[in-house]
Amino acid sequence: MGLFGRSGSNVQQKKKGAPKIKFSDVDAEVRVYEFDWELERDYWYTKEELKEMKDVRLKDAAVLRKERDIKVATRDDADALSGSRRGIFIGDSITHALDDKDENEKVSCQGIEHFVWPVLQKEMVNRKKELKATVISFSRDPKRYNNADPQGLAEASAKHSQWARDVATERGLKYCQMKRGGRGGGLLAMTKNAKMNKGMRGAGTFKREMSVHLKRGSN
């Protein structure tokens, strides 16, 4: 028996099959930059400052929820839904959040919509967990790991992160339109009839059924 209970032949076999590391023949170029460390605080935030900024977001969101009479318990509003019905409800909630007039001159919901509308935060967290689980499953699957399947991992990751990209795109479009016409005005009103707010989102009978839930955030 070898060290830690492994035979010498197994150790040699493992070493033989291990990937080889290749180093470049070109010498690394080292560049030295002068920096005045007395100015460090002008360039980077401290941990305390970063924590304070995070706390401010939560406090601002609490103010905005109170203005809109949105309860934290609404984070569970989509739990009883599944399939397309859940997708439509979450989609309507996103549109409802991005269409918000955001008239408070001191506190804005831009960028913290998922804190103001708790159901969106819960959806975001759940989708992040799904994405993480997908990535971990690839690393723990011997067949995928040994075959080095980066394309398969990339496709799976892209599939599970598509929702976040779509939300970010729609949010960016809304912000640009609101900037042109002022907060809550300008081209924002025109987007209510755009294709992104039509079709499956809030269509037909289901929209009327979900209006009860959405009223919690509009009052």
Residue 189 carries which DSSP code? G
DSSP code per residue over 51-67:
HHHHHHHHHHHHHHHHH
Neighbour-count burial of 86, counting CB atoms closer than 10 A to its CB (0-12 exposed, 13-18 middle, 19+ buried): middle
pLDDT of residue 141: 77
**pLDDT value at residue 194:** 44
Q: What is the pLDDT along the chain (219 residues), one digit of tens a residue?
A: 444 444 444 545 555 555 666 777 888 888 888 888 888 888 888 899 999 988 999 999 999 999 999 999 999 999 998 889 998 999 889 988 888 888 888 888 888 999 999 999 999 999 999 999 988 888 787 676 556 667 778 888 888 888 889 888 888 888 787 654 444 444 334 444 444 444 444 444 344 444 444 444 445
Entry pTM: 0.58
d(CA 60, CA 111): 11
Q: Within 10 Å of residue 137's Cβ, how many Cβ atoms? A: 12
Q: What is the pLDDT of residue 37?
A: 86
Residue with tokens 């030295």: 32
166 within 8 A of 158, measured Cβ to Cβ? no
Identify the pLDDT of residue 197: 46
- Output the pLDDT for position 100: 86
Q: What angle do CA 177, 165, 97 make, to 5 degrees?
A: 50
